[in-house]
Amino acid sequence: MNIKKLDDLIVAVKSKPRKRLVVAYANDSHTIEAVSNAIDLGIVEGILVGDEPTIKNVCKEEGIDVSKFKIIQESEEQKAANLAVKLINDGEADFIMKGLVSTDKYMRAILNKETGLLPPKAVLSHVVVLEVANYHKLLVVSDVAVIPAPDINQKVAITNYVISTAKTLGTERPKIAMIAATEQMTASMPACVDAAIISKMADRGQIKGADIDGPLALDVAIDEESVKIKKIQSNVAGDADGLVFPNIESANAFYKAVTKLANAKLGAMLVGAKCPAVLTSRGDSAETKTFSIALAALNSK
């Protein structure tokens, strides 16, 4: 199934066996509502680690049947995050989600060298799938939240994560744009140099399964008219499935611009760990969290 909209993502996940989702410190209404929606949609089984009286009170206020969840009592947020990670390592859950726990404590549990979820030498990154009204398909974007200034090896890992995510959305051979400030090969710009290296690596089969081009400015990556005006010769330009940004500033600014100014819908997850990890803002809507659960479920082994 070629997934063109985030609603299609829900349909795709529903056709597969249910995954077991564990939520770290599931004490807030948006998270509980999202997990409840995902359970009702038939895409997950839900395990809530958190303060049981608080969870039950939220369910009562929101009119949610608390019996649909398995609740594990832990009222302290760091311990709740650690316990959620332990359930993954023990094989009792398939993927993990951040609840009301702060991001630093959630990440601390995932990155713990002895008890966490990150394999040795693995690169943890963040992938966002965006549905932008005036773009003709979903966009896979990275890294907007984890790696401030990725080196070339980290960029290769990020590129592979974007490719893998695009493939789970049904794109057989994704088109990946390595974003820079210009499509001209400018040696004084490190983003251009890294983009050219990664593009050449793809040409020589060192990165497989995708067409990769760069450096590409954002306009020529996603806008066919800009490609024609600038006379760019590229099978990626104007039709990108994935955008790999050179640093967190550019990626995060793009992500926030399209969500806040263009009302883009999204699903997001951490990748590179033993399982996908849903990482959304505590202020994100239940819809965003539901899409993120579906995305992680689709990518969960």
Domain range list for the chain: 6-121+273-299, 125-260
Q: What do you get for the CA distance between the two ends of the chain, in Å?
A: 18
Phi-psi region of 263 (alpha: psi -120 to 50; beta: other; left: phi over 0): left
Stretch 254-279: mean pLDDT: 95
pLDDT at residue 229, rounded to an integer: 94
User: Domain 125-260 carries which CATH code?
Assistant: 3.40.718.10
Q: How far apart are CA 215 and CA 299, in angstroms?
A: 28
| 47 within 8 A of 20, measured Cβ to Cβ | yes
Q: Which CATH architecture has domain 6-121+273-299?
A: 3-Layer(aba) Sandwich (3.40)
Read off the pLDDT of residues 249-258 as tens digits, 9 standing for 90 and up: 999 999 999 9
Q: How far apart are CA 57 and CA 182, in angstroms?
A: 53
Q: Which residues pair with 22 in a beta bridge?
A: 47, 96
Read off the pLDDT of residues 23-82 as tens digits, 9 standing for 90 and up: 999 998 888 999 999 999 999 999 999 999 999 999 999 999 999 999 999 999 999 999
